[in-house]
Structure 1
Amino acid sequence: MAVLLILVALGLLIAGAWAGVSVLVLAPVLAALVAALSGAPVLAGYTQVFMEAAGGFVVAFFPLFLLGALFGRVMEVSGAAQRIATAIAGALGAGNAILALVLACAVLTYGGVSLFVVAFAAWPLARALFAETGLPARLIPATIALGAFTFTMTALPGTPSIQNAIPMATFGTTPFAAPGLGVIAALVMLGLGMVWLRLRARWLAGEDAPARPEGGAAQGTLPLWRAALPILSVAVVTLAMGVAILPALDTGYLALPLYGETDLARVKGLWSVIAALSVALVLALLATRPPQVMQALNKGAEAALLPLFNTASLVGFGAVIATLPGFEILRASLDGLSGGNVLISAALSSSALAGITGSASGGMSIALDVLGVAMLAEAAVQGVDPALLHRVVAVATGGLDTLPHNGAVITLLGICGMSHRQAYGDIFMVAVIGPVLACALIIGLGTVLGAF
């Protein structure tokens, strides 16, 4: 019964999000309801668990949402996004506009840029590109999702994503675990996603394209290098900060209570992206010289708030669910999946928890905390390379995590100004079905051939 309550609450959350109910209202109401029915203290659950988790998310990620929204707004009103879109459309043709946007998002995420930031940065480019080529607006969220939420997040060897880093501590692996299988999984996700999006573009031919960006009139006079420089700088500065600049600094002061008694490893990723977005924003202002700068910055700042708090509300919901007795029962029941093929059981357990929490990294962390040692021991008995286990778990969590209640999905739809009803079906095909099929394929190949 306790497990059923959680599943019902999750179903209601998904249904409510699909119907367009604000998760700012829906998430705390459902969290309180399921807590009350589970016998947990409702007020304590709200103030000490829900708000603690939601507030922690805001504290940690407010700079990324704010800077990302400011950067995206400046790129739009300055005409830079329109200029880049025109160049891409001219070079590749309208038939390759979707692929161009997917690859642009992939380059940013593979360069270490947070997928939340990529969503903000890619939106003005996508809007301009789809307007230039006449593609239907409803495909923009799925196109961004394919480039940012799938193969660069879990499959490509060496990707700096948190989803590729978490298994390393448990399995003693590297970011390049099972590189051959990772590349195969990435190609499957990209290939299936592109086939679907191209088919949908044909089916929806004649449907309204997005309106041209506000800065579209200025794009003809802006040199391409000035338009592209700020976007290119994001990945470059992120990499430079993480690899060279921050490690060279004396950051011993982080161990002091004043700074949270932490270390560079825990803040390096966040600092790198904050620095990169700050540099990109300054470059965008200097290189593109947008009109009405203060108005653009004010609107950008306002645009950051709703996606931020929507996602934080979902994080709070997940935190409350994780404290309930039913969740402990569910976690314990997954231990029974350790029998049989260890790759299948690892994929099922991590994928299920990612779906319940609406988070690939959250589901993976829980699965490895509970079952990681057992997975590794069973892998040794079955002769399964830990590198193969690493890649399977990573790819598995990148499927069901992208259900309608996923924070990144809510954020992306909010940025694009679309509802679940309009755009989620295509997101589901490219970011859930594609990764699930890719995971099944590498499990089969890995079982026969081992890690490669």
Structure 2
Amino acid sequence: MGLFGILLALAFLMWFAYRGWSVLLLAPAAALVAALFSGQPLLPHWTGTFMAGTGRFVTQWLPLFLLGGIFGKMMDDSGSITSIARYLTEKLGVKRTMLSVVLASAVVTYGGVSVFVAFFVLVPMTREMFRAANIPARLMPAAIGLGAFTFTMSAMPGSPSTNNAIPMPYFGTTTFAAPGLGIIASLITFAFGMWWLARAEAKARAAGESYVEDTSEAVITEKVREQATAAGDFDPSELTHGQRASTNPSFAIAVLPLIVVITVNFFMALVVLPRIDFSVAEQMLGINITSTIGVWAVLIALAAAIITLIACNYNRFGNLRESLDAGANSSVLPIITVASLVGFGAVVAAMPAFDLVRDAVLKMPGGPLVSLVVAMNTLAALTGTASGGMAIALGALGSEYMRLAAEYGINPELMHRLTVISAGTLDALPHNGTVLLLLQISKQTHSSSYLDMVMTVIVGVIISLVAVFFLGATFGSF
């Protein structure tokens, strides 16, 4: 009965989240369903187990969500995202429209800008490019998606994305984990996606399709907002707050903060912080600081980039305080939403029947790497969010995977990279908030655009995941 309750709770959460219900309501309700069918006390699990799991996630990740939200908003209001996207599209030209869009999307998101912030700049820019090249607008989401939320979120070493950060405390890694494998995965995803986009464009031209202007206004509904905040790290409603700059910076000034993020993150994670002796602080605080070095590196990098951004664009900001406030506020709903999913996972893990689920997952044929890949794909698909799926799985099984890594001689960096890439595959199913928001802003529908998105943001990533899995299993982490 307890196992049935866990499955029912997952089905309840998935079904109503897909229909646009707030995860803030659904997560505790689903947790109570699991507890009820397990014969467990409801209120203690709600106010105790659920809130403890939720609180741990907020305590651990609020600084990252906060600085990430501020950085994304400041990049937008300073005109830096627009400047970068316009520069790349102008240099590559109309004949390379697809490549221009993918690269512009990749550059800003790899540098730490939330995909939700980037969408509101990239979509209008892509619309101009597609109109000039006479490419059907239905291919816009597939092109933007390839650059914005595939390899830059999960495979590229050093990416400061939330997805790439979540495994760090569990595996004691950094965002640069398994860099060789990450680069290989990125190249495969990029190459396959570009091949598909070129094929789709050629097929559309052969069929006589052309760009058709949709003059209707893109409206972000409350339903899409709820689903988006469960899948990302920025509340789209905050983009209308603050004031955008009337002039854009030069490309060099615009891209400088992105370079600062990657450079400072690299040196802090691999050079500076590992050489500092934290033993005294660990004894005083009673915590393992070594496992959080990767998180600290990202925080320092984002803080340095924000300072650089303000210093270079101070006179461009219409109202600096409003931009900072909006960026900070943008982090609240996403982190509470994802944390609620983690709270749900904590309750499920506390149920007696979860032992059956844990044993079935960990003893899956093929060893711990197969188990890890399957678990991440499954939970990301069910929850419609890579970060939420990872947080639930690692919160319940992270210590077990580390134990198995030591037992089987597996490098934790390999587990980190496989975890992130796996969570970034089936999370992009039709109910994913990032997919819904991109379609809404692009004024496209699932029927017109989703098949091409499947190929660029799911199939290509799965191919890269298979390649990384076999390379890692054969040669280890590199």
TM range (shorter): 0.7 to 0.9
Q: Could you tell me which of 141, 145, 149 is aligned with 1:145? A: 149
| CA 1:287–1:166: 2 relative to 1, 3 Å | same
Residues 1:21 and 1:354: Cα distance change in structure 2 (over 3 Å)? closer
2:169–2:292 Cα contact (<8 Å) kept: no
Q: Give the match's secondary structure for 1:268.
A: helix
Q: Paired residue for 1:103? A: 106
Residue 337 of structure 1 aligns to a residue whose secondary structure is coil
Match of 2:460 in 1: 434
User: Is residue 130 of structure 1 aligned with residue 160 of structure 2?
Assistant: no
Q: Secondary structure at the match of 1:242?
A: helix
In structure 1, the residue matched to 2:259 is: 232
Matched, 1:328 2:328: no
- In structure 2, list runs of 5 or more residues that go unmatched: 131-136, 219-238
Query: Greater CA deviation, 143-152 or 386-395?
Result: 386-395
State the secondary structure of the residue aligned to 1:40.
Answer: coil
Distance, in Å, in 2 between the alignment partners of 1:71 and 1:386 is: 32
C-alpha distance 100-298 of structure 1, shift in aligned 2 (>3 A) = same
Shift of 1:325: 2.7
Post-superposition shift, 1:97? 2.9
Secondary structure, in 3 states, of the residue corresponding to 2:244?
Answer: helix
1:309 to 332, 336, 340: 336
Contact 1:9/1:30 (8 A) holds in 2: yes
The aligned counterpart of 1:57 is 57
Quick one: which amino acid aligns to residue 333 of structure 1?
A
Instruction: Give the conservation status (yes or no) of the 8 Å contact 1:314–1:405.
Output: no
Instruction: For 1:275-290, list aligned pairs within 5 A.
Output: 275-288=300-313, 289=315, 290=317
Give the alignment's Cα RMSD to 1 decimal. Answer: 4.6
Distance in 2 of aligned mates of 1:266 and 1:368 = 13
Determine which of 239, 244, 247 is the counterpart of 1:218: 247
Query: What is the aligned partner in structure 2 of residue 37 from structure 1?
Result: 37
Change (3 A) 1:411 1:399: closer
- Which of 282, 290, 293 pairs up with 1:265? 290
Contact 1:66 1:304 in 2 (8 A): yes
Amino acid aligned to 2:67? L
Give me the whole-angstrom Cα distance separating, in 2, the residues matched to 1:206 and 1:313.
41
Deviation at 1:65, TM superposition (A): 1.5
- What letter is aligned with 1:83? S
* Native 8 Å contact 1:118 1:148 kept in 2: no
The aligned amino acid for 1:130 is T
Letter in 1 for 2:122: A
Q: Check whether the contact 2:109–2:152 (CA below 8 A) recurs between aligned residues.
A: yes
Looking at structure 2, the residues matched to 70 and 249 of structure 1 have their Cα atoms a distance apart, in angstroms, of 28
Measured against aligned partners, the alpha-carbon deviations of 1:158-196 in whole angstroms (never above 9, x if no partner) come to x98665896799xxxx9549x5x7665443333344455
Matched, 1:363 2:424: no
Length, aligned pairs only: 422
TM-score, structure 2 normalization: 0.70
Is 1:67 aligned to residue 67 of structure 2? yes
Contact 2:51–2:343 under 8 Å retained in 1: yes
CA contact (8 A) 1:334 1:349 kept: yes
- Distance 1:265-1:413 versus aligned 2 partners, 3 A rule: farther
The SS at the match of 1:152 is coil
What is the letter of the counterpart of residue 44 of structure 2?
A: A
Q: TM-score, normalised by structure 1?
A: 0.74
Which AA in structure 1 matches 2:28? P
CA distance in structure 2 between the aligned counterparts of 1:246 and 1:311, rounded to whole angstroms: 29
Describe the shift of the 1:154–1:302 C-alpha distance in structure 2 as closer, same or farther (beyond 3 A).
Answer: closer
Q: For residues 367 and 190 of structure 1, do their structure 2 counterparts lie closer, same or farther at Cα, with a shift above 3 Å needed? A: farther
- Partner amino acid, structure 2, of 1:92: L
Gaps of 5+ in 1: none
- How far is the alpha carbon of 1:404 from its aligned partner? 6.3
Deviations 1:80-106 (A, max 9, x none): 221112111111235123321353267
CA distance in structure 1 between the partners assigned to 2:401 and 2:52 by the alignment? 27
Q: CA deviation at 1:254?
A: 2.0
Give the direction of change, closer, same or farther, for the CA distance of 1:272–1:319 in structure 2 (3 Å limit): same
